Structure 1
Amino acid sequence: MSVKILCHSFAALHFWFGCYYDWNYVEIPTDVHRMGSSFGKSGKLKFLTFWDAILQAVFFTICVINDVIGTNEDAPKKTPFIRRIKDLILTCLAFPLSMFVGLTFWCIYFVDRELIFPRALDKFFPVWLNHAMHTNIMIFILIELYTSYRKYPSRKFGMSVLSVFMLIYLIWIHIIHAYSGAWVYPILDVLNLPLRIVFFVGLFGLTLSLYLLGEKLNGVLWSKRLHIAKKR
């Protein structure tokens, strides 16, 4: 068994177990924090963190399948379907979303953690799970970016896929707010409508910037390697 299969399998199991544990064992009483309420039976699906953790689990599962029946060549002449799916998910969603979730969570956390992850939740949400959902997502995807080449789609296509995904989530949290009368994230409670609009536009811009960052990093990491490989 190759090192890549082992690493991808570990990453996939890591995120699948994190999602399973969070869904089945993390219960936050509503009298501790309203974040624990069902928000219209939306459960953990109200959080972008959970969406992203599922995405990472699916992505690394696809990586394992690609390791077995696809190819990990830097620039194959004929790219298998599973490899194309792997490349598209990483470029359009897995990289920008993992970086977005991790960076925004920890930036707000260090400014005022009560706005994103109140201390009252510490008894119910294990530290290891917090890092699995908000730290390891960045670490694993950066390792993948460094160790495996992927072909980026056209910028228009990639950013369109990411924009649609973020728009769907934005609509979703507004549906939850309309149904329950409460915002999913405490930070939204302290912002009036104009500031919320600025906040959402800023986060949207950050997400697209992270897409461009991934594209740039991919070029920096792999253009020289591919150039050397072609000379051999």
Structure 2
Amino acid sequence: MAATSVTATIFHFGLVWYYFYTYYHYTITFEPSLRQFRPDTYGGLWKFLTFWGLILQLVYFFWSCITDMVSASAPHSSAGRATVAFRDWFLAAIVFPIGSLVVITFWAIYGMNRELIFPAALDEFFPAWLNHALHTFVLPLLLIDMLLVKHKYPSRISGILGAVGFALCYLVWILYLGFAKDIWVYPFLKVLEGPYFILFFAVMTVVLIIFYIIGEKLSSVLGGSEKKVSTAKFD
């Protein structure tokens, strides 16, 4: 393995443990007044996009470890090509856009009015380091990964459809929680009136697509990646 590959492998293995450790500390039980944040209410931790993002990071870096090992032992095998293809598609379509959305929207709303997304009452239960692990460090770690690994991005239509499809699944889920179970994971959604409610999600869709394109450009600049032109499974 080349020096860069060894560094990337060590980095990936380290982040698997980092995100697992973060998950362990994220299983917090909040007081009854913070009902929508309690993991023991309907939906558990799966109510939060932040938690979905945490699992995505864990899965991505675990898969990267597998890819590193397979690529080192049999880089030109069909298994090696398949693991790399899925890793690159998963990063491009899901992990980077969703991770960026979590970080940027969280701090943007937090800056305007933190009570709408992360009430001050949570500070008693939620340590600052954990907040930053979930809502800040995501992007720097992904950028380091892009710097260490040369990714091949899929076709733009494939990547964007993957990102929007994933976001749509989450949207259906939180709307079900809100309207059917009266659990509004993000309190600000409850106060948005009809047109603004629709506008918010339309804007978020556009923002997600922008994040996908930004990820594509950043990967190219940092790692020298190129868009795929092959007919691989995940194109």
TM-score range, shorter chain: 0.7 to 0.9
Q: CA deviation at 1:38?
A: 5.6
**Residue 86 of structure 1: how far off its partner (Å):** 1.0
Q: Give RMSD over aligned pairs.
A: 2.3
Amino acid at match of 2:20: W
Q: Does 1:106 align with 2:146?
A: no
Instruction: Verify the 8 A CA contact 1:5 1:67 in the aligned structure 2.
Output: yes
Is 1:14 equivalent to 2:21 in the alignment?
A: no
**Equivalent AA in structure 1 for residue 186 of structure 2:** Y
C-alpha separation in 2, matches of 1:76 and 1:216:
27
Distance 1:224 1:48 in 2: 28
User: Aligned AA for 1:158?
Assistant: G
Q: Superposition pairs for residues 73-112 of structure 1, below 5 Å? A: 80-112=81-113
- Cα distance in 1 for partners of 2:213, 2:151 equals 14
- Distance in 2 (CA, whole Å) between partners of 1:220 and 1:76 is 25
Shift of residue 39, structure 1, vs aligned partner: 8.2
1:29 lines up with 2:27 in the alignment: no
Aligned to 2:206: 205
- Contact between 1:116 and 1:185, CA under 8 Å: does it hold in 2? yes
1:40–1:179 Cα contact (<8 Å) kept: no
Q: Counterparts in 2 of 1:67-216, with a 5 A limit?
A: 67-71=68-72, 80-216=81-217
Q: Distance in 1 between matches of 2:125 and 2:180?
A: 25
The alpha-carbon deviation at position 219 of structure 1 amounts to 2.6
Q: Distance in 2 between matches of 1:15 and 1:94?
A: 14
Alpha-carbon offset, residue 17 of structure 1: 1.6
Matches of 2:7 and 2:169, distance apart in 1: 36
Unaligned runs of 5+ in 2: 227-235
Q: What are structure 1's unaligned runs of at least 5 residues?
A: 226-232
8 Å Cα contact 1:71-1:80 kept in structure 2: no
Cα distance in 1, alignment partners of residues 148 and 214 from structure 2: 17
| Superposed displacement of residue 3, structure 1 | 2.2
Q: 1-side partners of 2:183 and 2:82: how far apart?
A: 43
Q: CA deviation at 1:193?
A: 1.6
Q: Is the 8 A contact 1:30 1:36 kept in 2?
A: no
* Corresponding residue pairs, total: 220
Aligned-partner Cα distance in 1 for 2:76–2:146: 17
Question: For each residue in 1:137-159, what CA deviation from the matched residue of structure 2 results, as whole angstroms up to 9, or x when unmatched?
Answer: 11110111122111111111111
Give the aligned partner of residue 44 of structure 1: 45
SS in structure 2 of the partner of residue 28 of structure 1: coil
Aligned to 1:229: none
| 1: CA distance, partners of 2:149 / 2:190 | 41
SS in 2 for 1:122: helix
Deviations 1:14-60 (A, max 9, x none): 1112112212xx111122x2323468620110000000100000100
Q: Cα deviation per residue 1:108-161 (whole Å; 9 max; x = unaligned)?
A: 111111111010000111111111111111111011112211111111111111
* Aligned residue type for 1:114: E
1:204, CA displacement in angstroms?
A: 1.0
Determine helix, strand or coil for the equivalent of 2:32: coil
Given that residues 153 and 216 in structure 2 are in contact (C-alpha distance below 8 angstroms), is that contact kept between their aligned partners in structure 1? yes
